[in-house]
Chain A
Amino acid sequence: MAKIELTRNPFIKSALKSRYPQLAVFIIMLVGYIFAILAGLIGTPVGSHNFSIVFVWIAWWAILILVAVPFFGRGWCAVCPIPLPGEWLQRGAVLSPPDKRPKWLNLRVPKMFRNIWLQNISFLLLALFSSVLLTTPNITGIVLAAMLFAAIGLSTVFERRAFCRYLCPVGGFIGLYSQTAPIELRIKDKQVCVTCEGKPCYNGSQTGYGCPWDVFPGGLTKNTYCGLCMECIRTCPHDNIAVNLRPFSADLAKPSTRMDEAFKAFIMLGSAMIYAGVLLGPWGMFKDAAYNVGSSAWFVYAIIFLAIIFVILPGFFTFGILNTKNILPLKQRFASLATALIPLGLMFWVAFSLSFVLTNASYILAALSDPLGLGWNLFGTANTAWQPMLTTILAPAQTLALVGGLIWSVRTAEKAANEVKVSSIPVIVYSFIVTSIMLWLLL
C-alpha cells in the first residue's frame, strides 16, 4: 500500500500549521490535567468514584492504548499537557514564535542520558507501585503533579523537551509502539533538506521553534522520537514536511539495533504478562504482595517482576537465538530480532487493557457528574450503576488481539531475521510460547 499524504488536504494542512487549534486543545488538556491532580488530592479516596483514577487510568488509558497508540502513534504526545508549562517558561511565550534568545540554562542533556534507559527505569518504578498508584487517588494526584513539576524543572535546565524525550515513563513505550502506527511525519524530498540553509526545522526561525524533540526531521526514518508536535511544518521554509497515512508497522521493516529499545520491548511484554496474572488473575497472594508496598512480600514481588523482565524473558530469547550463527555479534542480533516483540507487546497490552477497560468503563459516566465524589450530579449521570460492558465479546476480542499480535509478530520476525540474515524460527517459537502463556493468563 502506498502512502497517502494527509497534508495535501488544505484543511488538514492549515489546521496543523496554525497554532490556534493546537493551543485550544492544549488548554483543555492542561485544565483537565490540573483538575485530575486536584481531584486526586481533595476528592474522595475511593478510586472508582474519583476523577483522577477514572479519567486517567480508565478513560485516558483506554484511549491511549486502544486508539491513540495503535492508530496515531505519538498522537497523544502531540496533545499531552505535561511539557507545556515548562516549555512555555522555556520559550517565554505561549503562542508566538519569537525572535527571542532561549531562556533559562538551555543545557544539552549529557550524552550518557540520551537514550531511553531513564524512561525504562521511570516506567518500571511506576509499574512496581502500580497496584497502589492505579487505585489510590492521592498517590495518582501526587505522581501527576510530580511529572508536571519534573517537566518544568527539566525545561529550565535543559534545552527542548528533555522530560518527554528522556524521562517520561509513558513516552518510552509510546515511541516504541508508534513504529507500528499507520501515521508518520516525514520529509517529502531529501535533497531539499540537504541543501536547506540553517535547518530551521531543527534550529528554529521566525516562524517557529527548533524541533522540541531534538530530532532533525530530514533524518527521520521511524516514528520513535518524533512527538508529532507539528513545529517543523511551521518552520520548514520549503514546505517539505508531510504527514502521511501509511501501512501499519512500516517502521519495523528496518529493525533497531539499540539495546535500550530492545529492553523496552521486553519490559512492555513482561509487564503486560505480569499485570494480566497479578491484577486480573485469581491469585490473591500476588495481589496482596503487589498492593502492600514496602512489605517483604512486595519486595519478593518486585524482585520477581524485575527478574521476569530482565532475566527470564530476555534470557530465553537469547538462548533461542544463540544458534542463529552469523557474522553479526549476538548483541546486534538480539536487538534486531527483539523488534518482532514490538507488535506482540502492543497487542498484549490491548488484550490486557480490554478486560479492565470494559469492566470499569461505566465508572466514567458516574465520575463525570461527580468527579470529586462529593455527591454532585453535574450531568445527571452520577448514579450510573457499575456494569461491565460488552462482556460477551471480551474473550473473543482478547483472543483475536493475541492471535493477531502473534501473526503480526511472526511477519515482523521474518523481516527482521531476513535483515540480519538469520533464521526466524527461534523468534517465532518464542512468540508462540509467550502468546500461549498470555492467553492462559487472560482467558
Chain B
Amino acid sequence: MNRSEFLSRIFVITGIILAIGAPLIFWTRTPLIHARMAENGGWNPDIIQAEVSQPLHLKLTSDDVMHGFAVGQMDMDAVDVEPGKVTDITLTFDKPGIYTFYCTRWCGLNHWRMRGTIEVSGSSSDPEPVSPPLYVSLNLNLDAPHDAPVVPRSMPSAISGQQLTTDLPFDQSTDYYRANSPYQAFTDLSNTARTESQRWDVVASIWQSNTTPESLANGKQLYAQNCAACHGETGAGDGVFADDLAQAGEASMQTMSGAENMMMQTPVDFTNPTQMLGASPALLQGKILRGGMGTGMPMWGSIFTEEQIWDLIAYIYSFQFEYQE
C-alpha cells in the first residue's frame, strides 16, 4: 500500500470514528429529562437524585407535545417544556425527602400520570413534626357514600344567611366547619326557629366565614390549573377530558366489577348538591390527598400543601353556595 492510500484510509477512518464517536460522547454527557405523554412513557428519567442545599440543575425537553414542569409542595413557578427545545431550571431544596415533580400542562388524557420523584438526601437542621391529616384523625371512610338526603331548592345565599347567624346551637369555628358536611350543619340547625331555606343560607354563611377572598382566589387558580381539565371550568364534571375518561373507563372496567365502578370513572360533578352538601371538608381533603384509587382522580397529597388543599376545598364549595363578593 502506498503512502497516499494509507493516509487516505486514515482520514476516512478518522472521519467515520469522529462522526459516530463525537456525538455519542457529547450525547451521553448531556443529561436531559425527556417528557412524553404518559402513554408513551411520561418522564424519563422519572427518579432524580439531589442533595439538600445543593442547587440541582435540570435540562428538560419534550419529545411530543407541550408539557410543563413543577415540583409539588415547593414555592416555584411552573416552566413550560416544549418539543425540540431545552428548558433549564435550577432548584434548591431546604429539606431532605422525596418530592414529586409533575406535568402542569394538559398534555393528554393521562396527563396526571406524568409524575416523577426527586429524592433529596442530606440532614435537615429543622426537623418538623408530622401530624396525620384530619380525615385520618377523624377516621373517615373516603369511599363510603355521602349523599345529602335533603338538598336546598335554590342555591343557598351567604349574604342572606349572615343576618341569621345569631344564637347558633354550635360555634362557627374552623374545627366545626372542617369536620362537618353542610348537610350536617343544616341538621344541627333543625331545632332552631328558622325555615329550611334560611337554615341552608346560614350554612352558606358559615362556609364563607371559614374562608377568605384570598383563599378563594388561590383555590380558583389551583382549580383552573389542576382540576378543570376533568371536573370542568364550572365544576359540572364536564372538562375537556371528561368524555374520554368515561370512554376509557368503560373500556378498562369491562374486565373488572361492572357498572358501579364504571360510574367512578366519570369526573365528579361539583354542582351536584346531593353529593357535595353531604361531604365535609375533611372528607374532601382525604379525597384530594389520596386520590380516587383506580378512577381517573390522581393523588394530590404529594403536590399540594395542606393550605392549598383547604383553599381548593373552599373554592369547590363555591359551586354550591352564593357567596358575598
**A residues adjacent to B (C-beta < 8 A):** 23, 27-28, 30-32, 34-35, 38-39, 42, 44-46, 48-50, 88, 93-96, 370-376
- The total of interchain contacts (Cβ-Cβ below 8 angstroms) comes to 82
Please tell me if the beta carbons of B84 and A46 are within 8 angstroms of each other in the complex: yes
Q: How far is the CB of B26 from chain A (nearest CB, A)?
A: 7
Q: How many angstroms between the C-alpha atoms of A376 and B15 in the bound complex?
A: 22
Given A94-B5, A375-B32, A375-B61, A48-B84 contact (CB < 8 Å): yes
21 A-B residue pairs with Cβ-Cβ distance under 8 Å, sorted by A, are A27-B11, A30-B12, A32-B19, A35-B23, A42-B24, A44-B61, A44-B84, A45-B64, A48-B84, A50-B84, A93-B5, A94-B8, A94-B9, A96-B2, A96-B4, A370-B86, A372-B23, A373-B61, A374-B26, A375-B88, A376-B30
Please tell me if the beta carbons of A374 and B86 are within 8 angstroms of each other in the complex: yes
**In the complex, chain B residues whose CB is within 8 Å of the CB of A96:** 1-2, 4-5, 8
Check: B59 CB closer than 8 A to any chain A CB.
Answer: yes
Q: List the 8 closest A-B pairs by CB distance, nearest first.
A: A375-B86, A49-B84, A46-B84, A95-B8, A34-B19, A31-B19, A96-B5, A46-B83
**In the complex, chain A residues whose CB is within 8 Å of the CB of B243:** none
Q: How many angstroms between the C-alpha atoms of A332 and B163 in the bound complex?
A: 101
Q: How many angstroms between the C-alpha atoms of A370 and B16 in the bound complex?
A: 20
Q: How many angstroms between the C-alpha atoms of A96 and B4 in the bound complex?
A: 8
**B residues adjacent to A (C-beta < 8 A):** 1-2, 4-5, 8-9, 11-12, 15-16, 18-20, 23-24, 26-27, 30, 32, 59, 61-64, 83-86, 88
Please tell me if the beta carbons of A372 and B12 are within 8 angstroms of each other in the complex: no
Please tell me if the beta carbons of A45 and B4 are within 8 angstroms of each other in the complex: no
**In the complex, chain A residues whose CB is within 8 Å of the CB of B64:** 45-46
Q: How many angstroms between the C-alpha atoms of A371 and B86 in the bound complex?
A: 12
Please tell me if the beta carbons of B23 and A373 are within 8 angstroms of each other in the complex: no
Please tell me if the beta carbons of B61 and A31 are within 8 angstroms of each other in the complex: no
**In the complex, chain B residues whose CB is within 8 Å of the CB of A373:** 61, 84-86
Please tell me if the beta carbons of B23 and A39 are within 8 angstroms of each other in the complex: yes
Q: How far is the CB of A416 from chain B (nearest CB, A)?
A: 45
- Look across to chain B and name the residue whose beta carbon is closest to the beta carbon of A39: B23
Given A31-B15, A46-B84, A96-B2, A38-B24 contact (CB < 8 Å): yes
- Look across to chain B and name the residue whose beta carbon is closest to the beta carbon of A377: B86
Q: How many angstroms between the C-alpha atoms of A153 and B31 in the bound complex?
A: 37
Please tell me if the beta carbons of B85 and A49 are within 8 angstroms of each other in the complex: yes
Q: How far is the CB of A40 from chain B (nearest CB, A)?
A: 11
**In the complex, chain B residues whose CB is within 8 Å of the CB of A375:** 30, 32, 59, 61, 86, 88
- Look across to chain A and name the residue whose beta carbon is closest to the beta carbon of B5: A96
Q: How many angstroms between the C-alpha atoms of A14 and B59 in the bound complex?
A: 51
**In the complex, chain A residues whose CB is within 8 Å of the CB of B16:** 30-31, 34
Q: How many angstroms between the C-alpha atoms of A35 and B2 in the bound complex?
A: 30
**In the complex, chain B residues whose CB is within 8 Å of the CB of A49:** 83-85
**In the complex, chain B residues whose CB is within 8 Å of the CB of A50:** 84
Q: How far is the CB of A337 from chain B (nearest CB, A)?
A: 46
**In the complex, chain A residues whose CB is within 8 Å of the CB of B23:** 35, 38-39, 42, 371-372
Please tell me if the beta carbons of B26 and A94 are within 8 angstroms of each other in the complex: no
**In the complex, chain A residues whose CB is within 8 Å of the CB of B11:** 23, 27
**In the complex, chain A residues whose CB is within 8 Å of the CB of B83:** 44, 46, 49
- Look across to chain B and name the residue whose beta carbon is closest to the beta carbon of A27: B15
Given A34-B20, A95-B5, A376-B26 contact (CB < 8 Å): yes
Of B1, B20, B32, B59, the residue contacting A38 (CB under 8 A) is: B20
Q: How far is the CB of A93 from chain B (nearest CB, A)?
A: 6
Q: How far is the CB of A314 from chain B (nearest CB, A)?
A: 41
Please tell me if the beta carbons of B8 and A44 are within 8 angstroms of each other in the complex: no
Best-surrounded residue of A46, A370, A376 (most CB of chain B within 10 A): A46
- Look across to chain A and name the residue whose beta carbon is closest to the beta carbon of B27: A42
**In the complex, chain A residues whose CB is within 8 Å of the CB of B9:** 94
- Look across to chain A and name the residue whose beta carbon is closest to the beta carbon of B14: A27
- Look across to chain B and name the residue whose beta carbon is closest to the beta carbon of A366: B84
- Look across to chain B and name the residue whose beta carbon is closest to the beta carbon of A33: B19
Please tell me if the beta carbons of A31 and B18 are within 8 angstroms of each other in the complex: yes
Q: How many angstroms between the C-alpha atoms of A435 and B64 in the bound complex?
A: 38
Please tell me if the beta carbons of A46 and B63 are within 8 angstroms of each other in the complex: yes
**In the complex, chain B residues whose CB is within 8 Å of the CB of A42:** 23-24, 27
- Look across to chain B and name the residue whose beta carbon is closest to the beta carbon of A94: B8
Q: How many angstroms between the C-alpha atoms of A94 and B8 in the bound complex?
A: 7
Of B1, B63, B86, the residue contacting A45 (CB under 8 A) is: B63
Q: How far is the CB of A165 from chain B (nearest CB, A)?
A: 23
Please tell me if the beta carbons of B84 and A374 are within 8 angstroms of each other in the complex: no
- Look across to chain A and name the residue whose beta carbon is closest to the beta carbon of B32: A374
Q: How many angstroms between the C-alpha atoms of A376 and B59 in the bound complex?
A: 11
Q: How far is the CB of A270 from chain B (nearest CB, A)?
A: 33
**In the complex, chain B residues whose CB is within 8 Å of the CB of A374:** 26-27, 30, 32, 59, 61, 86
Q: How many angstroms between the C-alpha atoms of A32 and B8 in the bound complex?
A: 17
**In the complex, chain A residues whose CB is within 8 Å of the CB of B19:** 30-32, 34-35, 38
Known contacts A35-B19, A94-B9, A375-B59; 10 further A-B pairs (Cβ under 8 A): A23-B8, A30-B12, A31-B18, A42-B23, A45-B63, A46-B83, A372-B27, A374-B59, A374-B86, A376-B26
